[in-house]
């Protein structure tokens, strides 16, 4: 099983965005995870925060153009970073995949089977990474190991 390497700077951005949005508006947040697919690792180096709409228990991206533009800009710098998945918050509910999150992750894994979902709970300071697998005509979450590094 692969390991997710989550860079401290990327985690700090996720924490700040999630905490600020919850404290000011009591809303979930969503964003794209940027980094690299390595042989046995997925490295998350940064995040992209798109325009979004939602409430305390639901969030969705309004447009994905920001992801494309950010990746084009990144590639012009020669970093060759790609989108490795998405993150969202569950304020006060712990880090898990809801039924809607599982459906969303099924889509992301159709785009690339290595894409991950990262869930952060700003109240409990809990972060977990997930994939989904099909079991008897249904899908279930699989927790992916995370290492936080500089």
CATH of the domain at 49: 3.40.140.10
Cα 78 to Cα 99: distance, rounded to the nearest angstrom: 38
Q: How confident is the model at residue 72 (pLDDT cuts 50, 70, 90)?
A: confident
Q: What is the mean pLDDT of residues 117-142?
A: 93
Instruction: Using the predicted structure, report yes or no on whether residue 67 has a pLDDT greater than 80.
Output: no
CA geometry: angle at 106 spanning 147 and 32, to 5°? 50
Instruction: Using the predicted structure, report yes or no on whether residue 81 has a pLDDT greater than 80.
Output: yes
- Tally of domains within the chain: 1
Cα 51 to Cα 119: distance, rounded to the nearest angstrom: 18
Q: Which domain does 134 fall in, by range?
A: 3-149
pLDDT at residue 55, rounded to an integer: 85
**Region label for 67, one of left (φ > 0), alpha (ψ between -120 and 50) or beta (otherwise):** alpha
Which residues fall within 8 angstroms of residue 69, CB to CB, at 6 or more apart? none
Tens digit of each residue's pLDDT (9 = 90 or more) over 96-109: 999 999 999 999 99
């Amino acid at each position: 099983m692969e390991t997710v390497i989550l860079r401290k700077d990327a985690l700090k951005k996720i924490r700040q965005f999630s905490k600020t949005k919850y404290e000011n508006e009591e809303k979930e947040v969503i964003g794209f995870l940027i980094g690299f697919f390595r042989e046995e690792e997925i490295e998350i180096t940064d995040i992209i925060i798109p325009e979004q709409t939602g409430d305390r228990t639901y969030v969705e991206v309004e447009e994905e153009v920001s992801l494309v533009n950010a990746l084009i800009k990144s590639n012009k710098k020669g970093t060759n970073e790609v989108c490795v998945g998405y993150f969202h918050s569950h304020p006060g509910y712990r880090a898990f995949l809801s039924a809607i999150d599982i459906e969303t992750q099924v889509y992301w894994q159709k785009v690339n089977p290595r894409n991950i979902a990262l869930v952060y709970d700003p109240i409990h300071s809990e972060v977990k990474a997930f994939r989904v697998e099909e079991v008897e005509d249904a899908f279930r979450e699989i927790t992916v190991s995370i290492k936080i590094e500089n």
